[in-house]
Amino acid sequence: MNWTFADRVERVEPSATLAISNAAAELEADGIDVVDLSVGEPDFPTPENVVEAGKRAIDEGYTGYAPSDGIPELKEAIAEKFDDDGLDYATDEIIVTPGGKQALFETFMALLDEGDEVVLLDPAWVSYEAMAKMAGADIERVDLSPHEFQLEPALDELAATVSDDTDFLVTNSPSNPSGAVFSDAALEGVRDLAVDHDFAALADEIYQRIAYTDETPTSLGSLDGMDDRTVTLNGFSKAYSMTGWRLGYVGMPRPLREQASKIQSHSVSCATHFVQRAGVEALRNTEHAVAEMRSAFRERRDMLLDLFADHGKEVPFPDGAFYMMLPVDEDDQAWCEGAIEEAHVATVPGSAFGTPGYARLSYAASEQRLREGVDRLVEHGYL
């Protein structure tokens, strides 16, 4: 068979983190202990009451198809959660998806055509670029690395990048991979540009519950002028340690939701019914568990920043999520390959996120493993 493939898949590469996890898996298969700081998932179990709610839902027979865009009880709980964030999405402006990634995919596919313009803020999570490319869109990028990954000092550059041709701008705060939380002034700057040039914005708030700021980070869609042009992405994977349950949600203005939900109904059909029931419990009754995870992440962040400072490394301050960007050699790919092969510490090259010269470290690992990782990097001359 002489296969020819669609341009949309030829345009994208497999996930950059895959090469790292393959290398880690090969070493581990040879019996080598790898300190894996490349992972994008919390290392805590899903809260017990959520697990119980999921089991109960199976026992009660919620094992069939669910309504395509989500069960009413969960959409109601999500609308209330959005309302707490100052976001005014009605239940018919919400889609419950099997993971936040699916919600993003539906958004990009519903909104963007060949040649449309998407603006990304680097470092940007790997899948935005892949999804934009699959939609055929052109990508413009603004580099936040000269500004310690903050958006506010880069607003002039952003203003020079966007135009009336811009269709969509992606923000992600707290950020994967930098951990940066954007200031209110930065978000207001985005708002002014979006309104002036009449483009839509995505606010990926999947790490919103893992922020160490005094106040919950502001939601872009809550700003004046943004409610009818903001897609707000959130989900259960990170906040409630539910990566494998595959449950996410998105709020979007009604006209866009009508289009995006066609993609959901003709592709994945719906998020798993009993998982959605567990999702209601997660949204309503996990305040304590979330606070515990957040404070554990914060302690680890502080510990790592201190350890790196002891070795003369200043890391741009991460105020959320469970990642930080460690400044490394210019050839970050070679640094990461060396770190895994020699020190047996797995990290992700910053170039995968559009910012070479850094390695992304995840601190979703115990303090003991984090210390071990730093010791190994020091021992092998990587710090």
Ligand X SMILES: Cc1ncc(COP(=O)(O)O)c(C=O)c1O
**Does residue 40 belong to the site contacting ligand X (CB under 6 A)?**
yes
Complex with ligand X: residue 159 or 268, whichever CB lies closer: 268
Single residue of 42, 47, 99, 251 touching ligand X by CB under 6 A: 99
Q: Smallest distance, Å, CB 224 to ligand X? A: 26
Residue 324 to residue 125: CA distance in whole angstroms: 13
| CB 152, min distance to ligand X, A | 20
Shortest reach from residue 59's CB to ligand X, in Å:
26
Bridge-based pairing of strands 323-327 and 345-346 is unpaired
Choosing from 46, 172, 208, 232, the residue that interacts with ligand X (CB under 6 A) is 172
**Sign of the torsion formed by the C-alpha atoms of 187, 78, 180 and 203:** negative
Closer to ligand X by Cβ: residue 54 or 235: 235
The mark string for 277-316 relative to ligand X (x by CB under 6 A, - otherwise) is ----------------------------------------
Closest CB to ligand X among 69 and 204? 204
Burial 73-82 (b: 16+ CB within 10 A, else e): ebbebbbebb
Instruction: Pick one of 11, 81, 101, 141: the residue that binds ligand X (CB under 6 A).
Output: 101
Instruction: Give CA separation, 372 vs 179, 186, 250, in Å.
Output: 22, 37, 38
Which residue type, as a one-letter code, is found at position 340?
Answer: I
204 lies in the site for ligand X, by CB under 6 A:
yes
Beta-bridge partner residues of 119: 140, 169
DSSP string, 50-112: HHHHHHHHHHTT--S---TT--HHHHHHHHHHHHHTT----GGGEEEESSHHHHHHHHHHHH-
Closer to ligand X at the Cβ: 178 or 344? 178
Site mask, ligand X, residues 222-261, x = CB under 6 A? -------------x-x-----x----x-------------
Are 353 and 360 in contact by the 8 Å Cβ rule? The answer is yes
Question: In a 3-state reduction of DSSP, which class is residue 324?
Answer: strand
Give the contacts of 237 (CB within 8 A, at least 6 positions apart): 41, 99, 100, 206, 243, 245, 247, 248
Site for ligand X in 115-144 (CB under 6 A): 125
Q: Please, what is the minimum distance in Å from the beta carbon of residue 264 to ligand X?
A: 14
Nearer of residues 251 and 383 to ligand X, judged by Cβ: 251
Query: Cβ closer to ligand X: 125 or 382?
Result: 125
Determine the size of the site formed for ligand X (CB under 6 A).
13
Cis peptide before 123 (omega within 30 of 0): yes
With CA atoms as reference, report the closest residue to 239 among 208, 214, 272. 208
Nearest distance in Å: CB 98, ligand X:
8
Interaction site with ligand X (CB under 6 A): 40, 99-101, 125, 172, 176, 204, 206, 235, 237, 243, 248
